A and B are shown apart, each in its own frame.
Chain A
Amino acid sequence: MELIVEDLSVARGGMAVLEGVCFRLACGHALVLRGPNGAGKTTLLRTLAGLQPPRGGRISLDREAMVYAAHADGIKAVLTVEENLRFWADLYRVDAVGAALEAFALGPLADRPAGALSAGQKRRLGLARLLVTGRRVWVLDEPTVSLDAEAVGMFARAVRAHLAGGGLAVIATHIELGLEAEVLDVARFRPRRVVTGDEDFL
């Protein structure tokens, strides 16, 4: 499997934010997206995830192979940690809750209501979700926010294991994960001229 993005242009609120994005990612490789705030990393990832249509260009990616993790973890406070994971595992029909809990050291917290977790613990739970989806392509938006150094290490290990298993990952992040990853600075793709959704009217 390979992720190929050709001449992709993406828009936020009708306004083009990136143009001519091209990259190619083979099995076992990761791509780290960099760029200042508001450069369009989130928009690019949401477009890859299929949540918004591209303005132009092509993405060769089987939607059935992709899992997306956003800023918000989608954690339900009244469910326990394990129930939260169990829901996603059932939805994706992958039974790997135990392994996922272990990978992010959530085992001792499994029966706690997720609402009682700290911000970092919640984030770990959100990332553990990736392991119960069984998907080959990870599309991750700022996965390390509110993680401490130790938890970042857990996350990096999980990504390395995923890549070693033939997976792919596209990650927007500002910190060094210690991964052997290609780096793409999205600021390169800033549109040369302003294009809005109201172009017809000019």
Chain B
Amino acid sequence: MKALLVRDLKLAVRAGGGFGLGLAFFLIVVVLVPFAVGPETALLTRIAPGILWIGALLACLLSLDRILALDREDGSLDLIATAPLPLEAAVSVKALAHWLTTGLPLVIAAPVLGVLLNLRGEGYGWLVVSLAIGTPALSVIGTFGAALTVGIKRGGLLLSLLVLPLYVPVLIFGAEVARRGAEGLSVATPLALLGAVTCGTIALLPFASAAVLRVNLR
């Protein structure tokens, strides 16, 4: 398992497009929002948590089709599927690698972008916490979507269509934590629910991902 993780991380770093693109996209989305809604500080402060969550979610979505499609193209996927690693473990590791190269940088960059949107001082901590707990679920759900569409040529658009509705609960709870945190309200309930959704997805979804991947490989 470690071997696969190390390889995926190396590939993401060397081939580019892993760290860089997602972060740059996140930055651009956040920069574009004030152009669309106006520079009024009070308004930006109010919508900052939501914008940051949406930006992170879209940035995460951007690189989903690379999780499995590249391995499919060069034949590694067949070879990994016949290797001693269970496919459930392989998809979990792939999701983890995706989170480390996409989700984690977003979590770290979010506070910086929060400054651009005049996020309230109380909000930074909870923003980081909510993203740190929520983005792993985004990666795991995304891997499921990638496994569903790996057999389809140019399946990127379909992948977004399938994955975005699945992101709804994570987005609602995650953004709620960030919003309540910024407004100084209690975050206990949404935080617990967000944690539950993330734990549930990480525990169960890899089985579904592996099942559909097997179907797609035959």
Contacts and interface: CB of A to CB of B under 8 A. Distances in A.
Contact of A73 (B3, B4, B74, B82): B74
Given A50-B82, A91-B83, A92-B84, A71 B11 contact: no
B11 A76 contact: yes
Main secondary structure of the interface of B (DSSP, over half): helix
Contact of B78 (A63, A72, A93): A72
Contact of B82 (A67, A72, A87): A67
Interface of A: 46, 49-53, 63-64, 66-76, 78-79, 83, 87-88, 90-93, 129
Given A73-B75, A74-B76, A76-B74, A68 B84 contact: no
Nearest to A63: B82
Given A53-B218, A76-B7, A78-B15, A70 B78 contact: yes
B217 interface: yes
- Counting chain B CB atoms within 10 Å of each CB, the highest count among A53, A64, A76 belongs to A76
Contacts of A72: 74-75, 78
Contacts of B11: 76, 78-79
Given A50-B82, A68-B82, A76-B11, A91 B75 contact: no
Contacts of A51: 78, 81-82, 217-218
Contacts of A83: 7, 10
Interface in B66-125: 71, 74-85
Contacts of A76: 7, 11, 74, 76
Given A49-B78, A87-B4, A90-B3, 8 more contacts: A46-B218, A52-B217, A68-B82, A74-B74, A74-B78, A74-B80, A88-B83, A91-B85
Contacts, number: 72
A79 to B, nearest CB: 7
B153 interface: no
Nearest to B13: A78
Contacts of B71: 74
Nearest to B15: A78
Contacts of B80: 74, 91
A74 B71 CA distance: 7
A64 B84 contact: yes
A73 B80 CA distance: 11
A50 B214 CA distance: 10
Contacts of A68: 78-79, 82
B74 A79 contact: no
B8 to A, nearest CB: 10
Contacts of A66: 82
Contacts of B4: 87, 91
A78 B14 contact: yes
- Counting chain B CB atoms within 10 Å of each CB, the highest count among A66, A71, A88, A93 belongs to A88
B143 to A, nearest CB: 19
A153 B167 CA distance: 54
Nearest to B10: A79
A83 B7 CA distance: 9
Contacts of A78: 10-11, 14-15
B7 A87 contact: yes
Given A52-B218, A83-B10, A75 B74 contact: yes
Contacts of B74: 72-76
**Leading 8 A-B pairs by shortest Cβ distance:** A72-B75, A90-B3, A74-B76, A52-B218, A78-B14, A74-B75, A74-B79, A68-B82
